[in-house]
């Protein structure tokens, strides 16, 4: 590098701070300056719901690195409460306003990084400016929420996604009566409805009131509280948290006429470079490639923001000095995500069925399984409800969703990594994973998922289509015990316990397809193998009664 280069970074949290620190590790000579309009940089926004809920007690714990540390340890100048208001691409300068003095100044750059994040969506509804309506993005937001929760008895959370659920748990644990109003007909919209039903039951069991399929229309402050009017009804509460998603904070990029997506996200190449060669962008503000559907979208998660910050640093130095061999690429995302609610874990990676259908991808198969997180004979085994989706053509894994108390994130992480290595369900069958009774099973849930899917692809385990359950003319044979059958079954199902199948096989009509069901799928599989080898046309209802309940009764 010839001269000392000046790199300015706008936004000092996940993407911006990691870019700044990596730049310093790679370039001692560069001048690195970071601006943030907020009071803090490098804070743990992911911890905010737990700070509101008093699980994290000290604000200081949320501050991963303070401006002084950036200065002393990394020689990075940090200016908090400084808002960048404009970019002059031709002169390569930015306009910055010191929010304490309101003085404006111009700062030149050789490279500019936009890490401006996202902002909470605040729809222009009547009454939206009521002081009792909050959102949660920053530490000051969390203080306002804490103060409101201390005075409130009732809280309404609008939006049942990640932040909505985490806040529902935290506010409930502070003793508030919590209601979630969600426009979709399910909670946790990234999940398919059948998997979201486990979350719904969990929330209801923990006294969270749910108003699903309800669009909020207006708010009105009255003497008895804040009235919320939604599709069919209204309710009164003491405080509202808006958690209906975020939009890219891209007004600077728009003013600078950088290329943006329809939703306003900054378009970048794999080196995080924008349509202007001297401007880079990372984090919630950019558009990323969905590795499954190959479509571009925004994914506001901390992991991608941090990794992009690192890649961006290399890319900037490579641009300063093309002779360097530092070209890293951000490949895209699977949307690997996790969330905890009332002691349960929801985790997912890749595409849901909904996403695949929206993208026009139809040649897929979904399977369900409900294994214990470790062997049943060791105390404390907890079920994990798993939905695995794969390509019928080649077994390539397209997505997984899982819910349970223990061992959930670990399984989803393994599948995510397999997907990132372009793996298939056959790789899951053969995965070599940790096993001792406390941790898993000799056939881990990951192996089981691969085996079920692999058996299906080899035609050893044909699956019935759950969506055709009410329309087809099949015989539904429930192979559980009489006691299990008596405690609840699919209407019209006939009970032939697996142990009696060989004696009672003549009761089945050879001309009609037999759909087999049991508790979770295992006994139905054994029954299928028996019937198939006896010449019957049979299929299995994947996941058994557990999946039936999730699909039709929760």
Instruction: Point out which residues bind ligand FAD (CB under 6 A).
Output: 10-11, 13-16, 35-38, 45-46, 48-49, 83-84, 115-118, 136-137, 163, 249, 252, 283-285, 300-303, 305
- Residue 118 or 228: the one with the smaller Cβ distance to ligand FAD is 118
Nearer residue to ligand FAD within complex by CB, 298 or 391? 298
Q: How far is CA 26 from CA 3, 279, 282, 448, 535, in A?
A: 16, 19, 18, 45, 68
State which H helix or E strand residue 414 sits in.
helix 408-420
Query: Residue 365 CB, nearest distance to ligand FAD (Å)?
Result: 29
* Among the listed residues 105, 30, 88, 116, the one whose alpha carbon sits nearest the alpha carbon of residue 278: 88
Q: How far is the CB of 391 from ligand FAD (least distance, A)?
A: 27
Listed residue (423, 414, 417, 348) closest to 385, CA to CA: 348
For ligand FAD, which is the closer residue by CB, 40 or 523? 40
Q: Distance from CA of residue 283 to its chain's centroid?
A: 15
DSSP-assigned states of every residue in 443-464: S-HHHHHHHHHHHHHTTSS-B-
DSSP string, 64-133: SS-HHHHHHHH--EEEETEEEEEEETTTTEEEEEETTT--EEEEE-SEEEE---EEE-----BTTT-TTE
DSSP 344-375: EEEEEEE--HHHHHHTT---EEEEEE--BSS-
Which one, 261 or 495, has the nearer CB to ligand FAD? 261
Looking at the Cβ atoms of 305 and 408, the one nearer to ligand FAD is 305
Please state the closest distance from residue 84 (CB atom) to ligand FAD, in A. Answer: 4
Pick 106 or 126: Cβ nearer ligand FAD: 106
Q: Which residue is nearest to ligand FAD (CB)?
A: 283
Name the minimum Å distance from CB 420 to ligand FAD: 16
- HSE of 447, CA atoms in CB hemisphere, 13 A: 14
Dihedral of alpha carbons 135, 281, 336, 56, sign: negative
Give bridge partners of residue 286 from the DSSP assignment.
266
422-432 as b/e: b if 16+ CB within 10 A = ebbbbbbbebe
Minimum distance between the CB of residue 336 and ligand FAD, rounded to whole angstroms? 9
Nearer to ligand FAD, 44 or 516 (CB): 44
Torsional class of 437: left (φ above 0), alpha (ψ -120 to 50), beta (otherwise): alpha
Residue 468 DSSP label = G
Nearer to ligand FAD, 283 or 407 (CB): 283
CB of 205 to ligand FAD, least distance (A): 23
Q: How far is the CB of 338 from ligand FAD (least distance, A)?
A: 7
Nearest to ligand FAD of 251, 495 (CB atom) = 251
Q: Single out the residue of 257, 277, 258 nearest to residue 267, CA to CA.
A: 258
Three-state DSSP class for residue 141: helix
The Cα–Cα gap between 171 and 192 comes to 26
Output 26 or 86, the one with its CB closest to ligand FAD. Answer: 86
How near is the Cβ of 38 to ligand FAD at its closest, in Å?
Answer: 4
Least Cβ distance, residue 544 to ligand FAD (angstroms): 33
Q: Which is nearer to ligand FAD, 400 or 550 (CB)?
A: 400
In the chain, the N- to C-terminal Cα span, in Å, equals 63
Q: Which is nearer to ligand FAD, 270 or 302 (CB)?
A: 302
CB contact at 8 A, 47 and 151: no
């Amino acid at each position: 590098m010839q001269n000392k280069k000046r790199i300015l970074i706008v936004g000092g949290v996940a993407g911006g701070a990691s870019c700044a620190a990596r730049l310093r590790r790679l370039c001692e000579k560069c001048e690195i300056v970071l601006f943030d309009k907020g009071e803090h940089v490098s804070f743990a926004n992911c911890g905010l719901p737990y700070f509101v809920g008093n699980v994290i007690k000290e604000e200081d714990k949320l501050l991963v690195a303070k401006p002084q540390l950036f200065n002393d340890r990394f020689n990075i100048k940090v200016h908090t409460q400084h808002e960048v208001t404009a970019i002059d691409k031709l002169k390569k300068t930015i306009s910055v306003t010191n929010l304490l003095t309101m003085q404006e100044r111009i700062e030149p750059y050789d490279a500019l990084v936009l890490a401006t994040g996202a902002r909470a969506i605040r729809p222009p509804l009547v009454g939206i400016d009521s002081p009792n309506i909050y959102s949660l993005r920053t530490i000051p937001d969390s203080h306002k929420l804490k103060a409101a929760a201390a005075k409130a008895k009732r809280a309404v959370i609008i939006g049942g996604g990640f932040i909505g659920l985490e806040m529902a748990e935290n506010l409930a644990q502070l003793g508030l009566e919590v209601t979630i109003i969600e426009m979709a007909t399910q909670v946790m919209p990234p999940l398919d409805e059948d998997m979201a039903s486990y979350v719904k039951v969990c929330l209801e069991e923990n006294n969270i009131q749910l108003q699903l399929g309800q669009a909020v229309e207006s708010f009105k402050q009255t003497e008895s509280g804040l009235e919320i009017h939604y599709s069919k009804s209204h309710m009164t509460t003491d405080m509202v948290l808006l958690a209906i998603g975020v939009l890219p904070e891209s007004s600077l990029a728009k003013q600078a006429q950088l290329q943006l997506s329809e939703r306003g996200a900054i378009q970048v190449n794999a080196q995080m470079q924008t349509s202007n060669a001297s401007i880079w962008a990372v984090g919630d503000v950019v558009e990323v490639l969905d590795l499954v559907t190959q479509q571009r979208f925004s994914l506001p998660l901390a992991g991608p923001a941090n990794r992009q910050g690192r890649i961006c640093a290399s890319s900037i130095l490579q641009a300063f000095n093309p002779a360097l061999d530092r070209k890293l690429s951000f490949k895209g995302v699977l949307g690997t995500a996790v969330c905890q609610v009332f002691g349960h874990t929801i985790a997912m990676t890749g595409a849901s069925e909904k996403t695949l259908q929206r993208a026009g991808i139809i040649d897929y198969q979904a399977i369900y399984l409900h294994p214990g997180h470790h062997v049943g004979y060791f105390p404390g085994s907890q079920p994990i409800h798993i939905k695995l989706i794969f390509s019928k053509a080649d077994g390539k894994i397209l997505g997984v969703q899982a819910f349970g108390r223990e061992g959930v994130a670990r399984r989803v992480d393994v599948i995510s990594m397999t997907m990132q290595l372009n793996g298939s369900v056959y790789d899951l069958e053969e995965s070599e994973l940790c096993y001792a009774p406390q941790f898993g099973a000799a056939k881990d849930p990951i192996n089981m998922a691969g085996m079920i899917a692999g058996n299906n692809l080899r035609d050893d385990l044909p699956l019935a289509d759950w969506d055709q359950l009410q329309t087809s003319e099949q015989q539904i044979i429930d192979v559980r015990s009489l006691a299990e059958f008596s405690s609840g079954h699919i209407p019209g199902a006939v009970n032939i316990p697996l142990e009696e199948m060989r004696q009672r096989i003549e009761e089945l009509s050879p001309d009609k397809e037999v759909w087999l069901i049991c508790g979770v799928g295992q006994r139905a599989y054994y029954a299928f193998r028996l019937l198939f080898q006896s010449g019957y046309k049979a299929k299995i209802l994947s996941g058994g009664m557990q999946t039936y309940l999730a699909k039709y009764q929760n």
